[in-house]
Amino acid sequence: MAERIARCGEVEIAYEELGRPGDPALLLIMGLGTQMLAWGEELCRMLADRGFRVVRFDNRDAGRSTRITGGPRPDVAAALAGDASSASYTLSEMAADTVGLMDALGIGAAHLVGASQGGMIAQTVAIEHPRRVLSLVSIMSTTGERSVGRPRPEALGVLLRSPPADAEGFAEAAVEAFRAIGSRAFGDETGRVRKLALESFKRGGHDPDAVARQLLAILASGDRTEALHAVRVPTLVIHGTEDPLVDVSGGRATAAAIPGARLELIEGMGHDLPRALWPRLADLIAENAARATPA
């Protein structure tokens, strides 16, 4: 997969493609502080083999996409207390980046798959740019309603902890995070997690403020529940029963808010995409896309 850069309004978005150009486009949107590499290349190939033009990309403030500078210093503590005035952007801007990438690639409408914050971005695209979405898959995500999808205290601590600024320390922090929030029921993935962290560090460096800005975007965007009632594309909500970072209530609320949405709960899954589940996830995504009206 060859990395490219697309100009999307005021930002540049790093992306990669896999599959036949004429196949229906499927965009993979990753979560908080996480690069597109977390959509494993093997998973991308599984999706391409199921008939999709697969596009994975770095959100703004991640990987090799544009870092947002010049705004206020993100104040996470204030935002958690209800004052998100230090946000440099919201999920709407991140959704606009997604649509801008589609424009740059000549994609009129696409199937969207988002994980965690990526699910929130995908939901926002479906709400604000409905004609650009063929189907929606929201994985381990939530609606923005503060009473659902709440993290366990120990998981929140992992989320807010700033990782070390050296490669080995960064990788060790990723392994510790996996042990706290990952899907341990599906085997020991610490080796894969460490390798991914080292690749990500080499590729995108260490930028705690960038992660904080993405978190502020979530906290500043509010509750999407009512707006989700208007989503009319085939929707699948996937959530792990053992997710400590975004409680399964967030997935239940998302499915309840979107008319006709299907809820797929995966026993033992935490807040990650374990390799053992990739074939199942690829099948579920393809099945949901098959329900869509062709572009």
Confidence (pLDDT) at 244: 96
pTM of model > 0.75? yes
Model pLDDT, residue 208: 86
**Averages of pLDDT over each 10 residues, the chain, 295 residues:** 92 97 97 96 98 98 95 91 95 98 98 98 98 98 96 82 86 92 91 95 86 95 97 98 97 98 98 97 98 82
What is the DSSP secondary-structure string of the chain?
---EEEEETTEEEEEEEES-TTSPEEEEE--TT--GGGS-HHHHHHHHHTT-EEEEEPPTTSTTSPP--SSPPP-HHHHHTT--TT-S--HHHHHHHHHHHHHHTT-SSEEEEEETHHHHHHHHHHHH-GGGEEEEEEES---S-TTSSPPPHHHHHHHHPPPPSSHHHHHHHHHHHHHHHS-GGG---HHHHHHHHHHHHHHH---HHHHHHHHHHHHHH---HHHHTT--S-EEEEEETT-SSS-HHHHHHHHHHSTT-EEEEETT--SS--GGGHHHHHHHHHHHHTTSPP-
CATH number of 4-150+207-289: 3.40.50.1820
Domain boundaries, the chain: 4-150+207-289
pLDDT at 295: 65
| Res 293: pLDDT | 81
The predicted pLDDT at position 110 comes to: 98
